Amino acid sequence: MKIIHMADSHLGFSSHNRVDKFGRNQFEEMVYKGFEEAIDKIIHLGPDAVVHAGDIFHNVRPRIRTLYVFKRCLEKLSEAGIPIIIISGNHDAPKSSSSTSPFVIFEGLRDVHIAHKAHYERFEVGDHLFHCIPFCLDPKDYLNEFGKIERSGQDVLVLHGLVEALKGKKLRTIGEHEIKDSMLKSDFDYIALGHYHGQVPISNNAWYSGSIEYFNFGESEDKKGILLRDLDRFEAQSISIRPRYMVNCQPIDCVGLSSIEIKEKLMEICSREVIQNMIVRINLKNVSRPAFKNIDYASFNRLKALALHLDLKVAFLDEQENRSEAIDKSNLHEEFAKFLKEEGECERIPRTIKEDAIAYGTGLLKKAVVAQNTEALDATQ
């Protein structure tokens, strides 16, 4: 059995402030187009199934246009007789009681299997069982849900989250959940992972397919695309959908450079071939503020119009010193516990209730922080 493994389509993602002639965000349209191209390619390849390992939508309340694009693609697959297995990810799963999962709209369609109810579900497609663990409400739930899996001998596992081997590359998105090493069992025929946007193998039987698009500059070096996996022969083939279109340039050290020299450097990098239809970031470091203010941007801006997006990231000479550390809101409860502990040590809190007070207060604050974070996530556009 051959399957296509894809993930992190993020339909509805918009960025870079450029609009097309209909007034629609150009990058958002590009994301739709990329997804549709991928579906066409998949139909051409004719696999026995498609697995999408989370984050179909960029957020839990996709707009009508987003839903429409997705529906059209589902119909195409259905016409071609290719079943699809989908799990919800941290972006498109509801995290607060006020949200409804967008996937309820697509439930019950023929050959469309969606796990999105924050618990384990399995689907039998072809001669394999697809064990799906979608986004769960609590990071602690995953091991429990994983424990429900019963092997058939022909098993595929579908997960969305960051594996421990990539933990150094934390994406730092809110609601990111971790996949424990203990879930990556070698006796699965395949483990289809989603969340990390680069295409990488984690073990012989576990891969991140990566996303099709480049969503931020942190991904500029990533390999992108979808994977064709032969479940019987344990082989994965990478299929790219688009040529690389993101460049994050090496930082230019501007120490001692005048405004004219900086401009020359900029023009040097921004040749037409390099930036046309590309998303480019130019990094300048050690820039003097007066020099930066005096740069004549006219010709640079003409070039800039060719790019899909051109981003100038400037680190000023005087910047390093006055950088202050932001308070990490997600750890408020720890701060609070520390505070209470100090108070407790000053004997301001009676000894007999100290432990209870700290435990209760910390727990309460933790809940408040988590609730606030998740509400905020659901609301983002």
Partner 1 sequence: MTLKDSSLIEKKENQKGLDGLLQTKIIETKDTTYRIIAKNVSEYHFTVPFEVHDSERVEVGQIFSIKDKGLTFLARVIDIRHDSNYDGNWDTTFTGTQFFDQSQIFNRVIAEPLGCILEGKFKKCKTLPTKFSLVKRAEEYEFSFLQEVMGDIEIGYLRNGSMAVEQIPVSIHSTAIDHHIGIFATTGMGKSNFMKVFAASCMQLAARNESKFGLLIVDPHGEYLKGKGPVKGLMHLKRYSEGLVCYSIDRKNFSDPGVAELSISISEIEAGDLSVLYDWSAAQRDALEAIARVFESCWLERIQKPDGINKMVSEGFNATTMGVISRRIKNLLEKNRYIDPVRSSLPGIISNLQDGRVVLIDIPRMSEQSELFLLSILSRYILEKYKEESSVEQKNCLITIEEAQRVLGTGSNTYRFETIAREGRKFGVGLCAITQQPKLIDKQLLSQINTFVVMGLADRNDRVHLEESARHDLSSLDIEIQTLEKGEAIVSTLGIPFPVPAKIHSYEVYLKKLEKEGRTDERLVSGGRFKPIFD
Strands 200-203 and 206-208: antiparallel
Specify the stretch interacting with partner 1 by CB under 8 A; choose among 9-17, 24-32, 259-267, 356-364.
356-364
Buried b (16+ CB within 10 A) or exposed e, 119-147: ebbbbebbebbbbbbbbbeeeebbeebbe
The contact pattern for partner 1, residues 361-380, with x = CB under 8 A and - = no contact, is --xx--x-------------
Angle at 117 between CA 167 and CA 164, to 5 degrees: 10
CB of 53 to partner 1, least distance (A): 18
CB of 377 to partner 1, least distance (A): 12
Calpha distance 289→292 (Å, rounded): 5
Choose which of 40, 111, 230, 334 interacts with partner 1 (CB under 8 A): 334
Hey, what amino acid is at 163?
A: V
Choose which of 17, 182, 324, 352 interacts with partner 1 (CB under 8 A): 182
CB-count burial class (<10 Å; 0-12, 13-18, 19+) for 207: buried
* C-beta of 104 vs 260, nearer to partner 1: 104
- Helix (H) / strand (E) containing 206: strand 206-208
Residue 356 engages partner 1 in binding (rule: CB under 8 A): yes
Chain positions 140 to 179 lying near partner 1, rule: CB under 8 A, are: 140, 143, 146-147, 163-168
* C-beta of 20 vs 356, nearer to partner 1: 356
CB of 239 to partner 1, least distance (A): 20
Chain positions 199 to 218 lying near partner 1, rule: CB under 8 A, are: 201-204, 206
Calpha distance 198→2 (Å, rounded): 22
Work out the end-to-end distance of the chain between its first and last CA atoms, rounded to an integer number of angstroms. Answer: 38
Chain positions 245 to 264 lying near partner 1, rule: CB under 8 A, are: none
Chain positions 83 to 122 lying near partner 1, rule: CB under 8 A, are: 94-97, 99-101, 104, 107, 116-118
* C-beta of 96 vs 259, nearer to partner 1: 96
Map residue 59 onto helix, strand or coil: coil
CB of 94 to partner 1, least distance (A): 4
Calpha distance 10→160 (Å, rounded): 13
Residue 285 engages partner 1 in binding (rule: CB under 8 A): no
The widest CA-to-CA distance across the chain, in whole angstroms, is: 73
CB of 366 to partner 1, least distance (A): 9
* C-beta of 112 vs 257, nearer to partner 1: 112
CB of 66 to partner 1, least distance (A): 20
Map residue 346 onto helix, strand or coil: coil
Specify the stretch interacting with partner 1 by CB under 8 A; choose among 22-30, 62-70, 196-204, 267-275.
196-204
Specify the stretch interacting with partner 1 by CB under 8 A; choose among 124-132, 181-189, 216-224, 344-352.
181-189
Question: Which residues touch 327 (CB under 8 Å, ≥6 apart)?
Answer: 335
Calpha distance 28→38 (Å, rounded): 16
Residue 329 engages partner 1 in binding (rule: CB under 8 A): no
CB of 356 to partner 1, least distance (A): 6
Calpha distance 47→81 (Å, rounded): 10
Contact of 104 with 59, CB cutoff 8 Å: no
CB of 99 to partner 1, least distance (A): 6
Map residue 267 onto helix, strand or coil: helix
Say how many residues touch partner 1, by CB under 8 A. Answer: 45
List residues binding partner 1 (CB under 8 A): 94-97, 99-101, 104, 107, 116-118, 137-138, 140, 143, 146-147, 163-168, 180-187, 201-204, 206, 334, 355-356, 359-360, 363-364, 367
